Structure formats: structure tokens, C-alpha cells
Amino acid sequence: VPRFPEGYFEVHLCSQCGDCQSVCPVEAIAVDTNGAYVIDESACIDCGACVDSCPQQAIFRSPASPHPYMCNLCGACVANCAAQALIWEEDR
Amino acid sequence: MIDGYGGSILRVDLTTGSVKREPVTPELAHDWLGGRAWIAKYMYEELPAGVDPLSAANKVFVATGPLSGTLWPSSAKIVWGTKSPLTGGYIDSNMGGLIMAELKYAGLDMIIVEGASETPVYLCIEDDKVEVRDASSYWGKGSVETEYALKRDLREDFQIATIGTAGENLVKFACITHDVGRQAGRGGTAAVLGSKKLKAIAVRGTKPIPVANIEGLQKHTTSIIDYMKNKAYFPTFSKYGTTDVTDWCDSVGVIPVNNFQHAQYPKKDRINGKYMREQMYVRDKGCYACPLGCSTYTYSKKYDVYVEGPEYETIGLMGSNLGMDSIEEIAVLNADVDNLGMDSISSGSAVAFAMELYQRGILTKEDFGGLEMTWGNVHAARAFLRLIAARQGIGATFAEGALAAARIIGRDTEKYVVQVKGLDYSAYDTHAAPAMMLAYMTSDIGAQHTRAWAIVQDISMGRGSIEGKGQVVYDLQHLRPLMEVLGVCRFPWLEMKVDWEDYVTALNLVTGQHYTTEGLFAFSEKVWNLTRAFWTREVDGFGRAYDQPPARMFEPMPDGPTAGARVTQAMVDQLLDGYYQAYHWDQNGLPTAQRLREVGLGYVADDLVKRGRIPD
């Protein structure tokens, strides 16, 4: 008997652990003024070490860019969640 | 790059196995927008006149709209169109779920499926990689089973649309299934895919959709979501979805009972949304980017089945219309047709027609292979649906659709089929609802409610009155089909009263263009003329005779709130006269060459004149 889909959607958020920074071989990852880890694309060599290191799976590969994408705490997911199911921790 | 669009059309020829990408031109995007408008245009221009719907020369068009897959609330519609094997005319049918967004993430706005494969195949799209793959291991499986199997064999994050065994066996009301419980139900699009041996389409995309003014769209979207969430009706509709209309339909006497022989259901309290919630609720379900999430996953303990829904149309057509005892019987029938891959509206109509033939002694237990087709007999109904899907015994006759079955059976049984143009009625009786009836009569796919759900206006403006009803239908037929052009759900507009102008604003923020309501309504009328022209070209003798309500509406309603109500031919003629006039069509309901030229369809006018379908 077919049941329901067992899968579910996950939002991958940066937990600010800093693992990506510690594995980056060219020191292309730094903390920006918002307190978020960001990639300096001019220094990035696209090795993917940060993607593999991220325990939250919050760093992605995308065909749109050779460089990895990482959550930079921009808050767009919170602003755009149709069900308003995402909130900023500091707002709680 | 064109804002609002993935950028490409995928053309798949299943005869040769070739796959081609064609760019979406700025003219196609800005003059024809997308969704059902693209389907109408390509169908008229690319299908050879008089094509057999189940031949390799027919095509299936799968189109998203410029808002599909964007942030805009409930931008979750994808439209499937083809020449219908059920009606022989224009059909488009849309579904929700997630696949429309995935397709655009893969850079695609439309898929055109051509030709026919000799062996079962499925289409696998992963961004720029497109493959026609062997599907022999999925052939013979149900719609839902196939989706699970493909999710297992590919990856969870592929979005998949499938056909069931009904589609494989060319059942003329077979439907396309996606995300387990979302269907492009009407008109037998899945039978056309079955004739092409295309079992499924699987899509995974990772690219962004270009948007002209992303900040403006974010701001606009947030304000609309806030507006919707603050509506008093929001929690109720979110909870009950379309099932919430059941009680109302019963109270005003439009719920179909025993093949539209009655319009009020004594067991209403056992089939409504409240009872469903109490008995079977598991969890809520929403489509892409939808704040409403109006659907529900349910479980019937009695039958040990899981199903998404039932939605109101299924409650009407497979519940009260078959005399079923409770929502659990409806759930099991719903689960059956979902997995077999058949439209629950037309399936309900076919079973109801069979049960009425049994009631009247026209067909007997022997004719049904031993099944006692009494009202409410869920076991007989389930077995009968399986006979239809497999085209076994008498199932082969009903697999042609209820109207075609009546023509095969003969004996003056056509009058018991509740349909227009061969497409079965949705779940709103029209003994005393002239606007809703006109909507069914003139909908460009046959008797479907979504083009103009005018039943509300029938109640508010007076059941018996004809005055002003034509205008209601005319206006709704301009606005509502635009939802299927833009690729969005109509519920935020219909149920949460989101202003239409807000949709236009969103469209302009996404595309960077300057569309206006006036311009879009004129465009909608152009598309309406184009689909009418397609019918005119494809169906010999098409015209007023094809816009007639079913014979049942001329019989007086025996009981309930509309007791004694009946439709007269004078009423029908009055409705059609006014309607044709409003569209500037001729007395027979055919688009005139002059009008076609005025709405920007000069090439269509020339074509119909050349074919002798309309005078110059």
C-alpha cells in the first residue's frame, strides 16, 4: 500500500562553528562585519574542502558559480518563508 | 536571459529519442506570457488538423508560467495540454506540488513531447543533462508506486510526474500524478502519454530563476503573506481546504447525489471536512511557496489506505454522487484512482452513470461481470474502477469515458451522462444555477468548474435570475484562466481575497515589464478565442450544439432546496445568445474572422476561412 512521502525539506543554516575556515587551504574564509563566515571569491581555489567539512551541510556547490555557496546569515529564508515557519533566534 | 523565465523549451521526440533545447524568445515571453497561453498557441500551430489524439502525431505540452517557482505566494502551478482523447478538443489541466519550480530551476519553461516510443521510457532531466531512459521496470506499476520507485532509484530531491496503468491502457480520462496527491486530472492527458509510452518525467534543477526586481518582489510578497495570514478565513481554509465547501454545497442544494438525481445529501455530516479531520487526519500538506497549505494527508483505518485529500470534487463525485456511506469510502476510492491514475471527477461520473444504468435495469449484474452496482456499494465501485483501468470486460466500454460508453451501449442512455463536450461535470449541480451552468457549457475544455466558478454568484444574485449572469461568467473567464497563464494557484485570490492588481504588480516585478489589467484581460480573451478556434478546426459541426447542458438539467429536481427547479431550452438559448454576443461570435457560437483579427489572431482567421470552417 503506498503511504506518504517519508522525506522532508531541511533548511541548512550556518551554526558559526568555523570548521570551514580551519580547513580552507588558502585562507579565503573570514568572518565579516555581520559575524558570518564568508568566502573571498578572489582567493578561493574551488577545492571544495569547506563543502565537505561543513557539519550543517550549509555550504553548497551550484552550477551557477564555480565557487561554493555558503549561508551568510542574510536572513532571506526567514523573510521569504511562505509559512513564516522560520524565525530569527534573537527575535524570539 | 529573460526575467521570470528559465529560458528554454525542451522538445523531446520519442520516435527518434532526440532531445532539443529551443530558446524562449523575448517575443514569446512578452507577447504570450506562458502556461496555458503557450499551450493554446503551440497546439494550434503545431498539431496537424484532425490529428488522432492517441497517434504519434499528437503532442503533449507541459508549461510553467512566469510566476511559477518564484517567491510569489502559491506560485505552484504547471499546466499540461494536448488534444484530448476524451473530448476530441482542446484540453489543458494543471497541477500543484513542486515540479514547476524544479523545472524552472533546470532552466526550462516548457516541455513538448512529440512522437511515440516503441518501448516504455521516462524522461530524466538534471539541469542541462536530459536523457530518455528505459522505463520497462516501472511499466505496469501504479502512479504513486512509480513515483516512489523513481524517488528511490534517482534521489529524493527529484520531482516526478507519472502515469498509472490507466494511462498505459489508454483510459480516456487517465490523469497525470505528481507529489503523490497532486493531479492534472482532466481530459485524459495521461492516455496521450500512455500512447507515447512515456511513463514519467523526473526533474532536478539547481539554477536560479532571474527576477527583474528581487527586492521589490520580496517586499511585495511579504506584505501579501502578512495580509493573507491576517484574514479571518485563513486558519479555516488552511485546515480544511476545499472540503470546507461541502456543507455549503449541501445547504444550498448543489452537491451531486446519485448521478445528479438529487442535490442534497442525507449523510452530509459523514463526508464533510470536519468529519474527515476527526476520522482520518494525519498531517497538513502544502504546495510550493504556499502560505495556505490547504491539502491534507489522511489515513483510513477501515480500509488501511493513505491518501492525500479527498478534495471537495472527489467528495462530491465519488462520495455523494455514488451514494457512499462516509469519507472513508471516498478515501479508498480516491486512493484507488490516484494509483490507477484516473481523474476522480470523470471516474466518479463513469461509476455514477453505471450505477444509474443498474438502478434503471438497463444494465444488469451479468453485464457488470457479477458486480452489484447499487448506490453506495464501495466494493463494486472499486472492482469496477479496476476493470476500467485494465480495460477488462465492461470496463473497456467505460474506459472510453461516460459519454462514449453511452453511445456504445445505446438504448437512449446518453441522457444519463452529466457532461458537456464529453467532459464530465464537476461537483456543482446546475438545476438552479444558470451562471454555473453557462460556465460549464462554455468552458473551453468541457464541463469544468475552474474557468468560472460562478456558483457563488448564482446564490448571491438569485438562483432563478438570468440577468447579469452572462456578464459574471464573461468576467470570470477573463480573470481565472490568467492564473494558469502566470503559473499560480487561484486560492489566494479566491479564498483570501488577494487583489488581482497585486498579481499584476508581482508579474511586473518578476518580468520587468509593464503589464496592465486591461492588457492582460484583452490577452486572456485572445487566448479564449484561440482555444475556441481550435475546437472549431478540430470538431466537425462544432458550435452551439456543443455548448448544450446535459439532459439531466431539463428534468425537474425532485427534492431538496431546489425542488422543482429545471432548465428550459429558452433559458439555455437566452444564456448562449448573450454570451456569444459578448464575445462577438456568430449565432452558432463560432468566432468570426473579423473578431479573430481584432484580437490579434489574423493567421488563425485566415486558416479557419481557408479550411471552410468560418466565412470570411
Residue B104 distance to chain A (closest CA, Å): 14
β-strands B198-204, B121-126 pairing: parallel
Q: Do A7 and B151 touch (CB under 8 A)?
A: yes
Cβ atoms of residues B234 and B228 within 8 Å:
yes
Which of A4, A6, A51 best tests the B interface by mutation, with the highest count of B CBs <10 A? A4
Query: What average pLDDT does chain B have?
Result: 97
B8 vs A35, residue with greater confidence: B8
What are the two backbone dihedrals, phi and then psi, of residue B78, each rounded to the nearest 5 degrees? Answer: -130, 140
Q: Do A83 and B127 touch (CB under 8 A)?
A: no
Residue of B nearest to A85 (CA): B291
What's B90's DSSP letter? E
Residue A23 distance to chain B (closest CA, Å): 26
Which residues in chain A have Cβ-Cβ distances shorter than 8 Å to B205?
none
DSSP characters for B442-457? H-BTBS-STT--THHH
- Rounded-to-integer distance, Cα B548 and Cα B557, Å: 18
Maximum pairwise Cα distance, chain A: 54
Q: What pLDDT band is residue A91 in, cutting at 50, 70 and 90?
A: low
- Tell me the angle at which helices B344-359 and B402-409 cross, rounded to the nearest 10 degrees: 30
Residue A43 distance to chain B (closest CA, Å): 24
CA–CA distances in Å: residue B220 to residues A80, A81, B210, B216: 11, 13, 17, 6
Q: Do A82 and B290 touch (CB under 8 A)?
A: yes
Q: Do A80 and B71 touch (CB under 8 A)?
A: yes
Q: What is the pLDDT of residue B52?
A: 98
Q: Do A84 and B127 touch (CB under 8 A)?
A: no
Q: What is the pLDDT of residue B278?
A: 96
How confident is the model over B524-549, as a mean pLDDT? 98
Nearest to A82 among B144, B208, B225 (CB): B225
- pLDDT digit string, tens, across residues B28-60: 999 999 999 999 999 999 999 999 999 999 999
Q: What is the pLDDT of residue A5?
A: 64
Rg (CA), chain A: 16
Nearest to A2 among B128, B145, B207 (CB): B145
pLDDT score of B232 more than 80: yes
pLDDT score of B133 more than 60: yes
Q: Do A4 and B127 touch (CB under 8 A)?
A: no
- pLDDT digit string, tens, across residues B568-606: 999 999 999 999 999 999 999 999 999 999 999 999 999
Q: What pLDDT band is residue A12 in, cutting at 50, 70 and 90?
A: confident
Q: What is the pLDDT of residue B608?
A: 98
Residue of A nearest to B335 (CA): A2
pLDDT score of A1 more than 60: no
- Tell me which amino acid residue B234 is: F
Q: In what order do the strands lie in the sheet with B305-308?
A: B281-285, B295-300, B305-308
- Rounded-to-integer distance, Cα B109 and Cα B339, Å: 27
pLDDT score of A4 more than 80: no
- pLDDT digit string, tens, across residues B144-180: 999 999 999 997 789 999 999 999 999 999 999 999 8
- Rounded-to-integer distance, Cα B143 and Cα B161, Å: 8
Q: Do B222 and A79 touch (CB under 8 A)?
A: yes
Nearest to A3 among B128, B291, B306 (CB): B306
pLDDT score of B424 more than 70: yes
Q: Do A4 and B290 touch (CB under 8 A)?
A: no
pLDDT score of A9 more than 70: no
What are the two backbone dihedrals, phi and then psi, of residue B330, each rounded to the nearest 5 degrees? Answer: -65, -40
How confident is the model over B438-465, as a mean pLDDT? 96
DSSP characters for B498-546? --HHHHHHHHHHHH-----HHHHHHHHHHHHHHHHHHHHHHSTT-SGGG
Residue of B nearest to A9 (CA): B157
Q: Do B179 and A84 touch (CB under 8 A)?
A: no
Q: Do B291 and A82 touch (CB under 8 A)?
A: yes
Cβ atoms of residues B91 and B81 within 8 Å:
yes
Could you give the 3-state DSSP secondary structure of residue B125?
strand
Q: What pLDDT band is residue A33 in, cutting at 50, 70 and 90?
A: confident
- Rounded-to-integer distance, Cα B154 and Cα B480, Å: 36
